[in-house]
Amino acid sequence: MATGEDLRRLALALPGTVEAPHVDRRAFRVARIYVTLHPDALTANFKFTPEDQALKCLVAPEAFAPVPGGWGRMGWTTATLAHLTEAELALALETAWRDAQPKPKRR
């Protein structure tokens, strides 16, 4: 069972990640926000690609669900941390972190 403190520790271990307030949540970002932690530390919203979102929700529907509305259609996915192992949480963070990297500059 993963916790909000696990999320914070694992996210901050990913290179380039910084933590900052975002509305009523804690946000973790590299070039862009890739996960936000709810104030109750029981859920988090991950920014996945639509393909990664579909896979996570298919494989672990008790843990992952699209955020309702347009945010969910963009890949934002709510995770119930208690339904994830620390290893599953780490994999989800790495997936979202990878997609939030700075885009290469065009020449």
The token pair at 45 is 């919203």
Helix 86-99 and helix 50-59, axial crossing angle in degrees, nearest 10: 170
CATH of the domain at 51: 3.90.1150.30
Domain annotation covers residue 73: yes
pTM for this structure? Answer: 0.93
Which burial class, exposed, middle or buried, applies to 84 when counting CB atoms under 10 A from its CB (0-12, 13-18, 19+)?
A: buried
The tens digit of pLDDT for each residue in 31-81 reads: 999 999 999 999 999 999 999 999 999 999 999 999 999 999 999 999 999
Provide the 3-class DSSP secondary structure of residue 18. strand
Q: How many CB atoms lie within 10 A of CB 36?
A: 22
- If pLDDT is split at 50, 70 and 90, which confidence band does 103 have? confident
Using the structure block, give the residue that is written with the tokens 């990878």.
98
pLDDT at position 29, please?
97
Number of structural domains in the chain? 1
pLDDT at position 107, please?
73
Domain annotation covers residue 78: yes
Domain annotation covers residue 106: no
Q: Domain of residue 74: give its range.
A: 4-99
